[in-house]
Amino acid sequence: MNEQELMEAAAAAIVAADEEKAVDLARQALELGLDPVKVINLGYSEGMKQVGDLFERGQVFLPEVIIASEAMVAAVDILEEGLPEAEKEKTAGIAVLGTIEGDVHDIGKGIVATLLRVYGFEVHDLGRDVPLDDFVAKVKETGAHIVGSSALMTTTMVGQRTLEQKLKDAGLRDKVKTMVGGAVVTQHWADKIGADGYAEDAQEAVQKAIEIAETMRG
């Protein structure tokens, strides 16, 4: 199986909510020496997008989405074993991450957290459905350089704008840079709410975070 075929098979395994197949393909990807991040982005995430489209059209239902996401998590766990060891010597920066309150989608945010760790960030992952005040408190406690929020729904992305305001109210907005992401979030939204960074996927999130951390060190 070549790289392209594996990507397509990985996406298909997610659409079929076939965990065994998804995991088997993840192992094959590592054996073939493929880039785990590329396989996640172009294979499994592509499958999740298709599941989302089918769900929106009423062609699959919530239980199937749950099973598909479990298959994705299991495959990503395997692929993460193929990532280089997290940098322990140096700290690229401190990042606080979480999914906005009211939103339980956390697969993508988890991938972003893992990659940031691999690239040397000290990551405080607050999880999902995170109250906005918890982001603010964690930034204060850790002196974070970056606070990143993920939102997957139009109803929860507005929380990212409120978070900007809460950071200002707490007198922290000039001390911490903000990053936003998640399926419904765009560069346009990031600009509109005054966020410092936006990324479409986890790889881009790491690039942006590194750039942001560098500008903060001066």
Helical ranges in the chain per DSSP H: 3-15, 19-31, 36-39, 45-56, 62-80, 107-118, 132-142, 154-169, 187-193, 202-217
**Residue 181 interacting with ligand B1M (CB under 6 A):** yes
**Residue 7 interacting with ligand B1M (CB under 6 A):** no
Pick from 171, 51, 146, 164: nearest CA to 95? 146
Spatial distance between the Cα atoms of 194 and 164, rounded to a whole number of angstroms: 7
Pick from 176, 171, 162: nearest CA to 97? 176
Among the candidate windows 3-11, 83-91, 168-176, 182-190, which touches ligand B1M by CB under 6 A? 182-190
Among the candidate windows 5-13, 49-57, 136-144, 166-174, which touches ligand B1M by CB under 6 A? 49-57
Among the candidate windows 18-26, 81-89, 106-114, 160-168, which touches ligand B1M by CB under 6 A? 106-114
**Residue 112 interacting with ligand B1M (CB under 6 A):** yes
| Smallest gap from residue 71 Cβ to ligand B1M (A) | 10
Q: Which residue is nearest to ligand B1M (CB)?
A: 108
> Are the C-beta atoms of residues 159 and 131 closer than 8 Å to each other?
no
**Residue 55 interacting with ligand B1M (CB under 6 A):** yes
Spatial distance between the Cα atoms of 130 and 9, rounded to a whole number of angstroms: 34
Where on the chain is the footprint of ligand B1M (CB under 6 A)? 41, 45, 48-49, 51-52, 55-56, 62, 65-66, 69, 102-109, 111-112, 148-150, 152-155, 179-184, 199, 201-202, 205
